[in-house]
Structure 1
Amino acid sequence: QPGALTVPAGTTITWRNSDVAAHTVTADDSTFDSQRIAPDGSFSVTLDQPGTYTYHCEFHPNMEATIEVTG
């Protein structure tokens, strides 16, 4: 969450897993991949290039979202 986010280039985004199940943050174009994030774990990525990044959870494919990075 959220399903869509807009940030300026150079922003560091952190996902925190507050669920009881493991998740991933996997870009559809392989730009980033958290691998397995255990419960209470986190993953951060800095997106320097403007564009649209769609991502999903490898374990739960219905969990998907988009990040719009502006220049």
Structure 2
Amino acid sequence: MPFPFPAGAVRLAAAGACALALTTLPGCSDGGGGGGDGATEPASRSPASAGTQVTIKDFTFQPASLTVSPGAKVTVVNKDSTTHTLTASKGGSFDTGDIAPGRSATFTAPSTAGDFPYTCTIHPFMKGTLTVE
């Protein structure tokens, strides 16, 4: 069935809609989530209101060292092929529980300043440090 208006108008309208979508969609990026080239990233800092992300990929936490404000929300994204956790090594101050491949979990950073080592309880060789300041 033919369109009721000229093809040129359709193309122009579609191009305008695409341009509008590209300029108004939040978070447009390459989706890399902070590197992902396997190199250890420097510590990241984020205010409590903005949230922070740790990615699990290739059996590593990326970044392995993360600095956040007290009470910050930290989202952990599992981009690996197996289930992982991100669990405080001492004191039980945070624990994501099991995160299946392709899933994520969020926890709240401790409200007190300090260094909080963490590990994957399923793969104890995976280690990282959350610094709260």
Residue 35 of structure 1 and its aligned partner are, at CA, apart by 1.6
Give the alignment partner of residue 17 of structure 1, picking from 64, 78, 81. Answer: 78
3-state SS of the aligned residue for 2:124?
Answer: coil
Partner of 2:97: 35
Partner of 2:41: none
Partner of 1:45: 107
Residue 14 of structure 1 and its aligned partner are, at CA, apart by 0.6
TM-score (norm. length: structure 2): 0.50
Q: Larger relative contact order (C-alpha < 8 A, sep ≥ 6)?
A: 1
Unpaired segments of 5 or more residues in structure 1? none
Identity of aligned residues (%): 40
Unpaired segments of 5 or more residues in structure 2? 1-61
Aligned pair count? 70
2:97 is matched by which residue type in structure 1? Q
Aligned mates of 1:11, 1:33 — CA distance in 2:
14
Residue 10 of structure 1 and its aligned partner are, at CA, apart by 2.3
Q: Which entry has the higher C-alpha Rg, 1 or 2?
A: 2
Aligned mates of 1:14, 1:68 — CA distance in 2:
15
| 4+ residue runs over 6 A deviation | none
TM-score (norm. length: structure 1): 0.88
Q: Is the 8 A contact 2:94 2:108 kept in 1?
A: no
3-state SS of the aligned residue for 2:95?
Answer: coil
